[in-house]
């Protein structure tokens, strides 16, 4: 899963913090699968998108550690596995930073240019990422994906699938992730971003997410993780399923593309479909059958659009469920 798990418990400390927690109005908490749409030339070639996890009661204690949030802090953390950020398996980023590379919603441009996004990301790197990333590593190949940890709503639209969590579950997850070695494990087939997200969902709701060997060709896709969470939520009303959309910020950057599953991606990407029709038409028939049987689920149906204010600090609020 995340590596060897060594269980421990983290508790709020300090009389002042405890008093605030007792007096603050309670707020519910959740785990949300965020599926980012594919973008750019790589997204055209591999239209699966990217999966991350948003936890609204857990906060980042720097880029590589987690802790429970205190009242009035930014709302939660986004954690995700990346292909290559140094030797790290995952990075933790505050949600406003992850989506907009900003500390406050007021800092987000109404319409973003490539130069603005780069400036925001560089400022984010200087104030937040330096603890994990040496300054000289900015353009090193081993750190080439660092920009994907911030300002992602400028280049992608996101779909979110949220399920309720308890405080005990959140504390156990913090302990588990902090105890396990945070060392690079990425593998397209067995340990991609969707596998990491699935591990966290299954930590809260065991056996909820698994690969579909037919429609996803044996590789867990971001769309499959979202579909499994949606299916679970519909069968279990007590999990309080909520579907959200985080729009791509307007601007001059190219718009992201629809998320595809495994078989769906092959069938709807001309560079794959045309050669297969000529060389191995029987493969196309098999992919079509797989897609028609299980791959037609539509991501984002019934989603509620949320804006940056959703992730702003809420003074005096601490989740208590």
The string of DSSP codes covering 135-169 is: GGGTT-GGGTTGGGGS-GGGT--EEEEEEEE-HHH
CA 229 centroid distance within chain: 14
**Same structural domain, 207 and 275:** no
The answer as to whether 4 is a domain residue is no
Of residues 4 and 80, more confidence is placed in: 80
* 144 belongs to a structural domain: yes
Say if residue 185 is in the same domain as residue 102.
Answer: yes
Contact 141, 84 (CB under 8 A): yes
Indicate whether 88 and 183 sit together in one domain: yes
Question: pLDDT digits over 268-286, tens only?
Answer: 565 554 555 545 554 545 5
Higher pLDDT, 95 or 279: 95
Which residue would you say has higher pLDDT here, 196 or 320? 196
Structural domain including 52 reads 15-259+299-319
In the chain, the percentage of residues whose pLDDT exceeds 70 is 73
| Shared-domain flag, residues 282 and 225 | no
Question: Considering only CA atoms, which of 12, 60, 35, 92 is closest in space to residue 319?
Answer: 12
Tell me the three state secondary structure of residue 318.
Answer: strand
Task: Determine the Cα–Cα distance for residues 12 and 31; give it in Å rounded to an integer.
Answer: 20
Domain co-membership, 266 together with 127: no
Q: What is the pLDDT of residue 3?
A: 53
Q: How many domains does the chain contain in total? A: 2
Residue that wins the pLDDT comparison between 51 and 219: 51
Binned at pLDDT 50, 70 and 90, residue 140 comes out as: confident
The pLDDT tens digits of the residues spanning 223-277 come to 999 999 999 999 999 999 999 999 999 999 999 999 886 556 555 565 554 555 5
CB 3 within 8 A of CB 177: no
Average pLDDT, the chain: 82
């Amino acid at each position: 899963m995340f590596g060897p798990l060594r269980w421990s418990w983290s508790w709020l400390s300090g009389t002042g913090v405890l008093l605030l927690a007792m007096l603050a109005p309670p707020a519910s908490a959740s785990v949300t699968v965020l599926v980012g749409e594919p973008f750019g030339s790589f997204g055209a070639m591999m239209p699966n998108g990217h999966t991350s996890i948003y936890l609204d009661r857990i906060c980042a204690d720097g880029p590589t550690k987690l802790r429970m949030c205190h009242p009035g802090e930014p709302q939660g953390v986004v954690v995700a596995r990346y292909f290559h950020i140094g030797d790290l398996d995952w990075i933790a980023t505050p949600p406003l930073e992850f989506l907009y590379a900003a500390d406050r919603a007021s800092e987000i441009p109404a319409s973003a240019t490539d130069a603005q996004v780069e400036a925001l990301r560089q400022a984010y790197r200087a104030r937040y990422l330096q603890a994990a990333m040496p300054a000289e590593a900015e353009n090193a190949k081993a750190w080439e994906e660092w920009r994907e940890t911030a300002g992602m709503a400028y280049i992608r639209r996101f779909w979110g699938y949220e399920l309720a969590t308890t405080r005990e579950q959140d504390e156990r997850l913090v302990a588990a992730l902090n105890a396990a070695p945070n060392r690079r494990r990425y593998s397209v087939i067995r340990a991609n971003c969707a596998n990491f997200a699935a591990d966290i969902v299954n930590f809260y709701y065991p056996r909820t997410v698994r690969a579909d060997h037919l429609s996803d060709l044996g590789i867990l896709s971001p769309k499959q993780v979202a579909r499994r969470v949606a299916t679970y939520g519909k069968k279990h009303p007590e999990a309080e399923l909520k579907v959200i959309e985080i729009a791509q910020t307007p601007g001059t950057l190219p718009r992201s593309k629809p998320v595809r599953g495994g078989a769906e991606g092959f069938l709807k990407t001309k560079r794959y479909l045309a050669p297969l029709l000529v060389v191995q038409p029987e493969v196309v028939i098999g992919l079509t059958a797989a897609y028609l049987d299980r791959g037609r689920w539509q991501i984002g149906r019934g989603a509620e659009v949320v804006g940056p204010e959703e992730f702003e600090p809420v003074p005096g609020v601490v989740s208590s469920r």
